[in-house]
């Protein structure tokens, strides 16, 4: 993992003066401190009559914005150029008529819940970074397309663009999300008062649709029935058992590595964290957004519920069907690997 880059360590003297504004400098700073999206920049050059990829710098990607830095031996980041996808959108995007999916790409798309339309839009409107590699004396020139949270790796031929693979960039869309949740919770609340609960949505729907569930709901809606000792006890016991059965993970008492999903079930996650007067801070918004959970878009998706506030705490609910298919790769446990690709700054 790359350490935090301070603003004093960023050199922007090579940038055009029109880009040296406080807004752009802050955007560069945030992008450079998005470590899991740092990628090496290599271009193929002749060295001693042999072709070899040469490291010339680093590229950092975040939110449709790339910062290219020059490779130096000191700790400073010498910014040589920046790029966003505004001009691509203004020009109507690239040609995307003949896009073919490789067998590997098609399988990965199903596992990661990535649609064909998303692939096409990414290639058409996303930022493009060229990749040059040599393997067994064969030169490979692929392209990496970035749009929002999606990365598509493809090879352009004379008559087609062939997609090799595609993946999400944020933690929640990556396999191994559960292995990162503790760190995310700690960032949201320095006092360690944040919490994650995972509910078995399939079990919840089955219990509420059962005869006992329907009776308990009817009793709960009728105050007179609740006053009846037998009915009140029945209702209380049902909901106690209901909560125990559908709550399959609670970060306050369970270990993430012990959590195992069922591929035939759906799960809903609830993140509960402290706020200042029922308001999510800009820093908390950034933490959630970097993890793939944008608070401002929480209610826009059919699988997402609105954020609720209770006693200066926020509860954000999200259905995992939005982020991955039923293989539940988000529940796997492994360390996050740095994205390793090469780009051309020209």
Average pLDDT, the chain: 78
In which band, very low, low, confident or very high, does the pLDDT at 324 lie, cut at 50, 70 and 90? low
- Which residues 6+ apart lie within 8 Å of 102 measured at CB? 162, 163, 164, 165
CA pair distance 281, 232, nearest whole angstrom: 42
Least confident of 79-93, 288-302, 323-337: 323-337
Mean pLDDT calculated for residue range 29-56: 65
pLDDT, mean of residues 184-204: 85
Q: Where are the domains of the chain?
A: 7-169, 177-203+246-331
Going by pLDDT thresholds of 50, 70 and 90, the confidence category of residue 1 is very low
pLDDT at 266 over 90: no
pLDDT digits 0-9 by tens, 290-307: 787 877 765 555 445 578
Q: Write out pLDDT tens, residues 197-229.
A: 999 999 999 999 999 999 999 999 988 888 899
**E strands along 234-312, which residues?**
247-250, 267-274, 308-310
**What pLDDT does residue 336 have?**
36
Return d(Cα 33, Cα 67) in angstroms, integer: 11
Please give the backbone phi and psi of residue 265, each rounded to the nearest 5 degrees, phi first. Answer: -120, 160
Burial class of residue 46 (count of CB atoms within 10 Å of its CB; 0-12, 13-18, 19+): exposed
DSSP code, position 320: G
Average the pLDDT over 223-240 and give the result: 91
29-33, 69-73, 177-181, 223-227: segment of lowest average pLDDT? 69-73
Pick the closest to residue 114 from 68, 163, 167 (CA basis).
167
pLDDT digits (tens, 9 = 90+) for 126-139: 888 777 666 777 66
pLDDT at 52: 65
* List of long-range contacts for 243-248, beta carbons under 8 Å, 24+ apart: 245/200, 245/203, 245/207, 246/199, 246/200, 246/201, 246/203, 246/204, 246/207, 247/197, 247/198, 247/199, 247/200, 248/198, 248/199, 248/200
Q: Going by C-beta distance under 8 Å and a sequence separation of 6 or more, which residues neighbour residue 290?
A: 34, 170, 171
What 3-state class would DSSP assign to 23? helix
Reduced to 3 states (helix: H, G, I; strand: E, B; else coil), residue 222 is coil
């Amino acid at each position: 993992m790359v350490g935090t880059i301070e603003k004093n360590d960023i050199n922007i003297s090579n940038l055009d003066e029109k880009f040296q504004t406080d807004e752009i400098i802050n955007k560069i700073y945030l992008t450079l401190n998005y470590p899991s999206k740092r990628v090496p920049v290599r271009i193929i050059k002749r060295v001693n009559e042999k072709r070899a990829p040469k490291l010339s710098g680093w590229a950092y990607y975040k939110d449709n914005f790339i910062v290219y830095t020059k490779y130096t031996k000191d700790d400073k980041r010498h910014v040589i150029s920046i790029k966003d996808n505004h001009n691509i959108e203004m020009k109507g995007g690239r040609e995307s008529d003949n896009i073919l999916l490789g067998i590997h790409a098609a399988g990965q798309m199903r596992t990661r819940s990535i649609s064909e339309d998303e692939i096409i839009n990414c290639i058409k409107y996303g930022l493009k970074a060229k990749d040059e590699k040599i393997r067994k004396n064969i030169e490979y020139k692929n392209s990496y397309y970035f749009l929002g949270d999606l990365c598509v790796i493809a090879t352009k031929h004379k008559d087609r663009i062939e997609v090799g693979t595609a993946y999400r960039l944020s933690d929640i869309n990556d396999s191994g999300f559960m292995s990162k949740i503790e760190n995310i919770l700690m960032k949201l609340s320095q006092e360690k008062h944040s919490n994650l609960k995972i509910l078995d949505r399939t079990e919840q729907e089955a219990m509420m649709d059962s005869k006992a569930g329907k009776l308990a709901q009817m009793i709960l809606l009728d105050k007179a029935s609740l006053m009846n000792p037998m009915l009140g006890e029945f209702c209380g016991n049902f909901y106690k058992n209901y909560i125990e059965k559908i709550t399959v993970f609670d970060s306050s008492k369970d270990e993430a590595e012990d959590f195992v999903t069922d591929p035939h079930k759906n799960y809903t996650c609830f993140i509960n964290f402290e706020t200042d007067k029922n308001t999510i801070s800009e820093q908390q918004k950034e933490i959630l957004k970097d993890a793939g959970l944008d608070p401002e878009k929480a209610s826009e998706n059919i699988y997402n519920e609105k954020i609720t506030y209770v006693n200066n705490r926020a509860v954000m609910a999200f259905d995992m069907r939005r982020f991955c298919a039923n293989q539940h790769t988000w529940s796997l446990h492994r360390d996050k690997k740095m994205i390793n690709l090469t780009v051309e700054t020209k």
